[in-house]
Amino acid sequence: MKNFTRRHFIQHTSQVMAGAGLISSLPFSTVSASVLGANEKLALGVIGCNGMGFSNLTAHLKLPDVTCAALCDVDANVLERRAMEVEKMTGSKPKTYSDYRKMLEDKDIDAVIIGTPDHWHCLMMVDACEAGKDVYVEKPIANSIEECNIMVKAGERYNKIVQVGQWQRSDEHWNQALQYVQSGKLGKIRLVKAWAYMGWMKSVPKKPDLSQPPAGVNYDMWLGPAPKRPFNENRFHFNFRWFWDYAGGLMTDWGVHLIDMALLGMGAVAPKSVFASGGKLAYPDDAGETPDTLQAVYEYDDFSMLWEHAVGISEGPYGRDHGVAFIGNQGTLVVDRGKWEVIPEVGEGKYKTEAMPVQNRSGRSGLDKHAENFIACVKSRQKPVCSIEIGRLAALNAQLGNVAFKTGRKVYWDAEKEEFKDDPDANALINAQYHGNWKLPQV
pLDDT in tens, 29-80: 333 333 455 568 999 999 999 999 999 999 999 999 999 999 999 999 999 9
Is the pLDDT at 172 greater than 70? The verdict is yes
Chain centroid, CA 419 distance in Å = 22
Higher-scoring residue by pLDDT: 355, 167: 167
Q: What is the structure's pLDDT at 372?
A: 98
Q: How confident is the model at residue 13 (pLDDT cuts 50, 70, 90)?
A: very low
Q: What is the structure's pLDDT at 177?
A: 98
Q: How confident is the model at residue 4 (pLDDT cuts 50, 70, 90)?
A: very low
Give the residue-averaged pLDDT of 420-427.
97
Q: What is the structure's pLDDT at 348?
A: 85
Is the pLDDT at 216 greater than 60? The verdict is yes
Give the residue-averaged pLDDT of 293-304.
98
How is residue 227 annotated by DSSP?
P
Average pLDDT over all residues of the chain:
92
Q: What is the structure's pLDDT at 40?
A: 83
Is the pLDDT at 143 greater than 50? The verdict is yes
**3-state helix/strand/coil string of 71-139:** EECCEHHHHHHHHHHHHHHHCCCCEEECCHHHHHCCCCCCEEEECCCHHHHHHHHHHHHHCCCEEEECC
Give the residue-averaged pLDDT of 173-199.
97
Q: Which of 320, 325, 324, 328 is nearest to 345 (CA)?
A: 328
CA dihedral 215, 220, 226, 231 (to 10 degrees): 40
SS3 category, 268: coil
The number of residues making up the chain comes to 443
Q: What is the structure's pLDDT at 349?
A: 85
Give the residue-averaged pLDDT of 425-441.
97
> What pairs with residue 413 in β-bridges?
420
Q: What is the structure's pLDDT at 36?
A: 56
pLDDT in tens, 240-267: 999 999 999 999 999 999 999 999 999 9
Give the residue-averaged pLDDT of 144-151.
98
Return the minimum-mean-pLDDT range out of 74-83, 130-139, 354-363, 420-429: 354-363
Residue percentage of the chain with pLDDT more than 90: 89
Q: Which of 145, 115, 402, 371 is nearest to 255 (CA)?
A: 402
In the chain the domains, ranked by start, together with CATH numbers, are 6-170+366-394 (3.40.50.720), 172-362 (3.30.360.10)
Q: How confident is the model at residue 171 (pLDDT cuts 50, 70, 90)?
A: very high
Q: What is the structure's pLDDT at 174?
A: 98
Residues near 245 by beta carbon (within 8 Å), at least 6 away in sequence: 119, 226, 227, 229, 235
Is the pLDDT at 271 greater than 90? The verdict is yes
